[in-house]
Amino acid sequence: MLAKNYCKVINQTAEHIKAQLSGEGSGHDWWHVYRVWKNAIHIGRQENADMFVVELAALLHDIADWKFHDGNEDIGPEMAREWLESLSVDQKVIYQVCSIIRNISFKGAGVTNKIDTLEGMVVQDADRLDAIGAIGISRTFAYGGSTGREIYNPGIPPQKHNSFYEYKNSNGPTINHFYEKLLLLKDLMNTAAAREIAVRRHLVMENFLEQFYNEWEGKD
């Protein structure tokens, strides 16, 4: 694709998503997408990925998250396809982008990751990086509050979800989410660039949890 058309499609897509998600309060807002987009560009260039596919998938990955559509895994890829077809994007690119959107999400500790392309790995890593570290902590509690979850309940232990059904129907306390997903992500990164960043962000979460439990018991 010519550079002029590449930039036009990317810019139109960014504006489209910004208009849809600005002001969203659960941590899945435009700024989440923006950060994933920028992370994906950083990682994708290092990995020599197809940057047109990477940028489009990063921008559209949360166009219709299953968490806010009754667990519907099809709506995101469908809406992305409609948008890209309206811009006359090549069908091969649309297929790649929609496949990434369908498979990008973490679906439980015991569920196999179905991402199988370099571009998908790049975008998945970028999305996962935004789920950990200081921003990841903030987003986790924003989402927990938006869904009415307890912050912490010592009587409700974390679960290892062996199916997507179990994972998407879980309603445990927010702290459990660290053990059910966030602390697992460092070792699930696909690319060297993401693994390097993840180590630092993982440590932030470990330090936070140590302080959290100290304060919970009135020790600090």
Render pLDDT for 81-97 as a digit per residue (tens, 0 to 9). 999 999 999 999 999 99
Give residue-wise pLDDT tens across range 8-58: 999 999 999 999 988 887 888 999 999 999 999 999 999 999 999 999 999
Provide the pLDDT for residue 215: 96
Task: State the sign of the Cα–Cα–Cα–Cα dihedral 178, 183, 188, 190.
Answer: positive
DSSP 84-140: HHHTT--HHHHHHHHHHHHH-S---TTSPP---SHHHHHHHHHHHHTTSHHHHHHHH
Query: Does the global pTM surpass 0.85?
Result: yes
Q: Picking from 47-56, 85-94, 161-170, 180-189, which range would have the lowest pLDDT averaged per residue? A: 161-170
How many whole angstroms separate alpha carbon 49 and alpha carbon 41? 9
Q: What is the DSSP string of 196-214?
A: HHHHHHHHHHHHHHHHHHH
pLDDT at 183 over 90: yes
Sequence ranges of the domains in the chain: 3-216
For residue 110, name the pLDDT band (cuts at 50, 70, 90).
confident
Domain 3-216: which topology? Answer: Hypothetical protein af1432 (1.10.3210)
